Amino acid sequence: MKKMFLTGLWLWGVLLPLMAVRIEHGPYLQNVGEREATVVWISDKPSVGWIEIAPDDGTHFYAEKRTQLYDTRIGIKVTDRIHTIRLTGLTPGTRYRYRVCVQEVLSHKHHEVYYGQIASTDVYGKKPLTFTTNDISKPEVSFAMVNDIHGRNDVLETMIGQCDLAQTDLFLFNGDMVSVSETEEQIFSGFMDKATELFAGSIPMYYCRGNHETRGPMAPYFKDYFNPRAEELFYMFRQGPVCFVVLDCGEDKPDSDVEYYGITAYDAYRTQQAEWLRTALKSDLYTQALYKVIVCHMPPFGGWHGELDIAQKFFPLLKEAKPDVYLCGHLHEYIRKNAGEEGIPFPIIVNSNNTLLKAHADGNALDIRIYDLEGKETDRLHIEK
């Protein structure tokens, strides 16, 4: 009897940790602005989620009860695997520490809710995660861009490894990070777990969707993971002297193409987006920035329908608004067009699937450099003010 009891106890001791709720992916930052930031993380079981925020003031995270904010919708704590919390009312240019937590919801019947175990990010064995809000008065900014990774974690790791993370204010993921959106696991095993491991919990990543993310049964749920609390996947933000305008290119073939099985409506979407762009390019956020950078996965040339539609709907507006540079990818080869070529008054950089773009902007210049996988500089664009 005693042996049976001890065996049961041992089994319970082994099984309980295996059954405990876990944070499977994240946390990672989205939509970091001057006064807001969204944090995303995914648990392996349906649970409620919350974040604890602390100032970066030198006190221990355990010094006092930290501000807790729950993932809620319409006044109810959300029970889900995907947890997103939009923090608002933050101070520009300020570093915050944070911990994310989940508590499993075992059952919810009538008005009764029964909870299971809690999991959280570590603030004891290692330093709490931190992030810094944007600051438009910051005199300089450094950023890096990768694109067309297509699930190649090793290439992503090599490129991120070439960045001085302490000196990188933000990353741009300029589309086609996966080849197809079949499962959630593809997103995370393809690039996002690696990005989280390397930087994405502490350094903001701004995602510009490519055309490959639009393919597959998971495609309609892209926004559950990226830009989850923003209105759209096209948006703009400021950091330091740069205004970034992120556009969402849609697919490359006509919506009527047999490859899309009638599921796409990108012509109408790009028309709607052009209306937003018309207003965005006249906003103070854009016009008062020293540098204006357009981020869009597809170039306006190449002759396919998506590229032609971008040229027709976005480019008349961009020609008028004269950004400093247009950054894209999609073609899997490096191409640079200088200002004035083909009647376009600003340079276009088509970054390849195997090159990293690093840039630095200050009061004097926007300096953009391209590096191959060996870390050798292969091109440089220097835009002086």
Q: Which residues bind Fe ion (CB under 5 A)?
A: 176, 210-211, 330
- Minimum distance between the CB of residue 147 and Fe ion, rounded to whole angstroms? 8
Cis upstream peptide for 220 (omega within 30°): no
Q: Which is nearer to Fe ion, 52 or 251 (CB)?
A: 251
User: Which is nearer to Fe ion, 176 or 309 (by Cβ)?
Assistant: 176
- Judging by DSSP bridges, how do beta strands 325-328 and 291-295 pair with one another? parallel
Which residue(s) pair with 86 in the sheet?
38
What six digits make up the tokens of 104? 């499993």
| Token digits of residue 303 | 């002759």
CB of 250 to Fe ion, least distance (A): 11
d(CA 160, CA 358): 10
Tell me the closest approach of the beta carbon of residue 234 to Fe ion, in angstroms: 16
Closest CB to Fe ion: residue number:
330
Residue placing its CB nearer to Fe ion in the complex, 291 or 314:
314
Contact 233, 209 (CB under 8 A): yes
Provide the minimum distance between the beta carbon of 172 and Fe ion in the complex, in angstroms, as a whole number. Answer: 15
Q: Is 117 helix (H, G, I), strand (E, B) or coil?
A: strand
Closer residue to Fe ion in complex, CB, 50/222: 222
- Which CB sits closer to Fe ion, 45 or 330? 330
Q: To which H or E segment does residue 67 belong?
A: strand 67-70
In the complex, least distance from residue 308 CB atom to Fe ion, rounded to whole angstroms: 15
Q: How many CB atoms lie within 10 A of CB 30?
A: 22
Nearer to Fe ion, 142 or 273 (CB): 273
Between the alpha carbon of residue 11 and those of residues 4, 5, 14, 359, the distances in Å are 10, 10, 5, 55
Smallest separation, CB 252 to Fe ion (Å): 7
A 10 A CB-CB count for 185 gives: 12
Nearer CB in complex with Fe ion: 238/330: 330
CB-based contacts of 161, cutoff 8 Å, min separation 6: 198
Cβ at position 263, least distance to Fe ion in Å: 18
138: nearest Cα among 240, 286, 288: 240
| Residue 248 CB, nearest approach to Fe ion (Å) | 12
Structure-token pair, residue 306: 């998506």
User: Does 27 sit behind a cis peptide bond, omega within 30 degrees of 0 on the bond before it?
Assistant: yes
Query: Under a CB-based contact definition with an 8 Å cutoff, are residues 143 and 359 in contact?
Result: yes
Which lies closer to Fe ion via its Cβ, residue 270 or residue 330? Answer: 330
Residue 333 CB, nearest distance to Fe ion (Å)? 12
Residue pair 146/171 in contact by the 8 Å Cβ criterion: yes
Within 10 A of 383 (CB to CB), how many other CB atoms are there?
16
Nearer residue to Fe ion within complex by CB, 49 or 250: 250
The least CB distance from residue 150 to Fe ion, in Å, is: 9
Angle of the 305-313 helix axis to the 266-280 helix axis, nearest 10: 30
Start-end of H helices in 176-330: 184-187, 193-195, 222-225, 266-280, 284-287, 305-313, 315-321
Enter the DSSP assignment of 94.
Answer: -
Q: Which is nearer to Fe ion, 138 or 212 (CB)?
A: 212
